[in-house]
Structure 1
Amino acid sequence: MKVLVTGGAGFIGSAFVRGVLTDTLPGLEGAHVTVVDKLTYAGSLANLAPVATSGRLDVVPGDVCDPALVEAVMRRHEGVVHFAAESHVDRSIRAAAEFAMTNVVGTQVLLDAALRHGVERFVHVSTDEVYGSIPSGSWTESSPVAPNSPYAATKAGADLLALSYHRTHGLPVTVTRCANNYGPYQHPEKLIPRFVTNLLEGRTVPLYGDGSQVRDWIHVDDHCRATALVLERGKPGEVYHVGGGQELTNRELTGLLLRACGADWDRVVQVEDRKGHDRRYALDDSRLRDELGYRPEVDFAGGLAATVRWYRDNPGWWRPLVID
């Protein structure tokens, strides 16, 4: 199988590519991968270094908003896994235009090209943030989207656009919406790597508001396994939730990271809460479990310890990326 992976040099996309090329993802053993990535601040060829010499990998630097480039690379691919996105909420609050272009227009360009070339499977990777906030219980795939940040709004728009191509044109699109990811190679603008790298450097860490925001956490390798299952056997036109089963408040997570890095609470600085900050996300992923047999394999405690250890062992990767 030949699979086009957009955003394949980013955090989650590169984990998926590494999984394919090491034959650890279900149904994709022996597959050939073409990566299209704009190589912005959040994407790096260093993330693909472990599989860079594979004869089954092609890397095409470029923007998914470029119709000519997308047209050239789409042909001869049976599957598409669309990870490429602007994804940092704080950046979307400051400047939303790039999010609208990449997340919505880029998705439309890919869908048009996939339709022209008769792509057999198209997985659009999205987020639980499209639903807004839920005080109790869990969202199902039939829950209405109600995004609160510009980032989430652009992802919701892209989701609806992708699903419309199935309903209108019959394009075999599936949408996945996933919980918060963690693991190696994640840019230090995100919570876990930012806190870990700051603590390892003897710096303070910022905790938004009272830290009571609740998030569900999933290791990136589990997310990639779920994505592979949906690519292989997901029902076109459907949405699949990918949960991690590990709900924590940001304050609880901060305590775990402090202990893992040998630091105390005096390293935590409480800062003004993010505008429109969602209080809680929670996904019901029983469809993925019941229909496709998905189960998370990475225990949170072990996965978090391994993630902290990776950042401790790889300062050459993250030090040039650390933000204030």
Structure 2
Amino acid sequence: MNMATSKVLVTGAGGFIGSHLTERLVRAGARVRGLVHYRSSGSLGWLDTLPESIRSDLEIVRADIRDYHAVAAAMRGSDVVFHLAALIGIPYSYFAADAYVETNIKGTLNVLQAARALQTRRLVQMSTSEVYGTPEAVPIVETHPLQAQSPYAATKIGADQLARSFHQAFGTPVVIARPFNTYGPRQSPRAVIPAIIEQLASGATHIQIGATHPTRDFTFVDDTTAALVAAAETDEAIGDTVHFGSGYELGIGELARQIASQMGAPGVELVEEKARLRPPSSEVERLWANNAKAERLLGWKPLYTGADGLRRGLEQTIQWFTAPQRQRGTAAPDSEYRI
């Protein structure tokens, strides 16, 4: 399936990854509709910051992913649906698990039921590497057991399993896309990389972060969106789960020191802030993607990989977060719904 000739819907289009994906699809020539969470202010999240040449080619639907009828109406006429809308903050899921069930599980069920009724040609379900918990072995392959260590992860497992069940039971053409720790411009300031950058940019000499020992596979947003498009275009991926990561593992403490070095502040002190720590049994100790299936099925490989790839991705991210318009507070806020 060629995106350039397709009608496409992106749920969660106003969020971090969603806005980047929407922009990529419009530039590729797709006819794109973006579903954004309704706000009385009229904000479209990060879509408000896109160039007019992109926004003018974009159809916007304001709706709530928890409302089946609104979701079905938004999906009508679409060949491909990228389902990114979700509540994603892990800390908030400890206090508001019900909201995560309603949005992440019930919202995904709405999308799946609409896809079945409308005979949508392709549905890409956005997953997360958090579904694995602390892995039994790394790098992690798609057959690794699922283990939720947070309510957020549990709801994403539930959403993914619903998507898989619809493929098995009804033949719904679903692809489960499982990215690892995407970062880049427009990411929520609550995420670890923006939090470090913004503290350093303010002149802080003590950087407050959560646990420094866990490792992650940080994947630049351009690689993630390219992988999502490849997943939608490849028939062989239907009914399957595919990993997208940089293939490079780095500890949070090492990451913080690298960012500090790139920002000209190598001597900063790292402070583990209690408020940023997960409950001990909830911390995921390692995440590191095995990309072999993505390369084999989709022909996708990350462009930002290894130490050099991370450095280049961080460079672009630092530039964006420290740009004058960001310092003046004129950039759009992150969407309530992912991505």
TM-score greater than 0.5 by the shorter chain: yes
How many residue pairs get aligned? The number is 314
Question: Aligned in 2, Cα 1:184/1:318: closer, same or farther, shift over 3 Å?
Answer: farther
Q: Which one is further off, 234-243 or 12-21? A: 234-243
Deviation at 1:292, TM superposition (A): 1.3
C-alpha separation between the residues in 1 aligned to 2:146 and 2:46?
A: 35
Match of 1:126 in 2: 127
C-alpha separation between the residues in 2 aligned to 1:180 and 1:121?
A: 24
Cα deviation per residue 1:112-152 (whole Å; 9 max; x = unaligned)? Answer: 01111110000001111101112642222122211111111
Match of 2:27 in 1: 22
Of the three residues 237, 240, 245, the one matched with 1:238 is: 240
1:282 partnered with 2:281: no
Deviation at 1:47, TM superposition (A): 3.7
C-alpha separation between the residues in 1 aligned to 2:161 and 2:51?
A: 34
Match of 2:155 in 1: 154
Query: Where does 1:178-193 land on structure 2 (aligned, <5 Å)?
Result: 178-193=179-194
Contact 1:135 1:279 in 2 (8 A): no
Question: Aligned in 2, Cα 1:57/1:261: closer, same or farther, shift over 3 Å?
Answer: same
Question: Aligned in 2, Cα 1:254/1:39: closer, same or farther, shift over 3 Å?
Answer: farther
Query: Where does 1:19-58 land on structure 2 (aligned, <5 Å)?
Result: 19-23=24-28, 30-38=29-37, 44-54=44-54, 55-58=56-59
SS in 2 for 1:206: strand
C-alpha separation between the residues in 1 aligned to 2:333 and 2:71?
A: 29
Match of 1:297 in 2: 303
Unmatched 5+ stretches in structure 2: 1-5, 335-339
How large is the RMSD of aligned CA atoms in angstroms? 2.1
| Identity in percent | 32
Match of 1:26 in 2: none
Unmatched 5+ stretches in structure 1: 24-29
Question: Aligned in 2, Cα 1:254/1:120: closer, same or farther, shift over 3 Å?
Answer: same
Question: Aligned in 2, Cα 1:52/1:126: closer, same or farther, shift over 3 Å?
Answer: farther
C-alpha separation between the residues in 2 aligned to 1:259 and 1:140?
A: 32
Where relative contact order (Cα < 8 A, 6+ residues apart) is larger, the structure is 2
Cα deviation per residue 1:216-238 (whole Å; 9 max; x = unaligned)? Answer: 01100100000000000042111
Contact 1:18 1:48 in 2 (8 A): no
SS in 2 for 1:61: strand
Deviation at 1:321, TM superposition (A): 5.7
Query: Where does 1:90-109 land on structure 2 (aligned, <5 Å)?
Result: 90-109=91-110
Tell me which amino acid in the other structure corresponds to 1:218: T
Contact 2:217 2:287 in 1 (8 A): yes
C-alpha separation between the residues in 1 aligned to 2:63 and 2:196?
A: 31
Deviation at 1:266, TM superposition (A): 4.2
C-alpha separation between the residues in 2 aligned to 1:83 and 1:15?
A: 12
Deviation at 1:295, TM superposition (A): 1.0
Match of 1:27 in 2: none
1:114 partnered with 2:118: no
Query: Where does 1:58-97 land on structure 2 (aligned, <5 Å)?
Result: 58-97=59-98
Deviation at 1:34, TM superposition (A): 0.7
Cα deviation per residue 1:248-303 (whole Å; 9 max; x = unaligned)? Answer: 10000010111222335545322233111111012212011012111111322111
Match of 2:316 in 1: 306
Deviation at 1:243, TM superposition (A): 1.3
Query: Where does 1:207-226 land on structure 2 (aligned, <5 Å)?
Result: 207-209=209-211, 211-226=212-227
C-alpha separation between the residues in 2 aligned to 1:319 and 1:78?
A: 32
Contact 2:208 2:271 in 1 (8 A): yes
Match of 2:337 in 1: none
SS in 1 for 2:177: strand
Please, what TM-score do these two structures have when normalized by structure 2? 0.87
Question: Aligned in 2, Cα 1:196/1:39: closer, same or farther, shift over 3 Å?
Answer: farther
C-alpha separation between the residues in 2 aligned to 1:8 and 1:122?
A: 15
Deviation at 1:97, TM superposition (A): 1.5
C-alpha separation between the residues in 1 aligned to 2:332 and 2:9?
A: 29
Deviation at 1:15, TM superposition (A): 0.5
SS in 1 for 2:237: coil
Deviation at 1:39, TM superposition (A): 5.7
Of the three residues 13, 18, 24, the one matched with 1:13 is: 18
Tell me which amino acid in the other structure corresponds to 1:243: G
C-alpha separation between the residues in 1 aligned to 2:219 and 2:11?
A: 21
SS in 1 for 2:33: strand
